[in-house]
Amino acid sequence: MGKAQINPTNYDAIPTYVPHEKEKLVYAVIETPAQTRHKYAFDPAYGIMQLKQTLAEGLTWPYDYGFVPQTLAEDGDPTDVLVISDAPTISGCLLKARIIGAILLKKNGTINNRLIACLPRQEGVALKTDGFDEIKDVPKDTMDGIERFLVEYSEVEGNAIEYKGTCSRKKAFAMIEADRKRRKRAKKSS
């Protein structure tokens, strides 16, 4: 019997942008849903989500957290995205996301930015994020909580985190494009 190949998923085939919606909507794969202490990460070797760690008591993920497919950020992982929504999804969920900006961070001296997104507006369904077009539209206390969480959970892991501010939707899309190009170069050289 030959060696079995494990890859029950097709995450690598998911495009970055929702068809006909470039510069409006991206796909996001949720690794860690909101309101959990567990942090999950996609394991490409096995094609499945893996429990990576459990957060300290009192800390939970404030919103769904995952990655944008077909990207490679400066830290060597797919581009991170935090999706502000009214309710959590599930680990492994593919969703369409409206990018509204990014939180700029350095982790142990390496750029480790986090895209900030919302679910798309839906006719007939009111979401608390419907009025968010740019990161500046998010209430200050919500942004303060997100920033504090991202810094605190990383520091608890023993990382040195530097908060560098936020950037606009336009700059966030430029980051996505740069990360797509980095991934293409990495695939060519491997």
pTM, full prediction: 0.93
- Domains of the chain (ranges; CATH) run 12-189 (3.90.80.10)
Angle at 117 between CA 78 and CA 74, to 5 degrees: 25
pLDDT digits (tens, 9 = 90+) for 12-56: 789 999 999 887 899 999 999 999 999 999 988 888 899 999 998
Interior/surface letters 78-113, b for 16+ CB within 10 angstroms, e for the rest: bbbbbbbbeebbebbeebbbbbbbbbbbbbeeeebb
Q: Summarize pLDDT for 101-121 with one digit per residue, the tens.
A: 999 999 999 999 999 999 999
Residue 132 confidence (pLDDT) above 60: yes
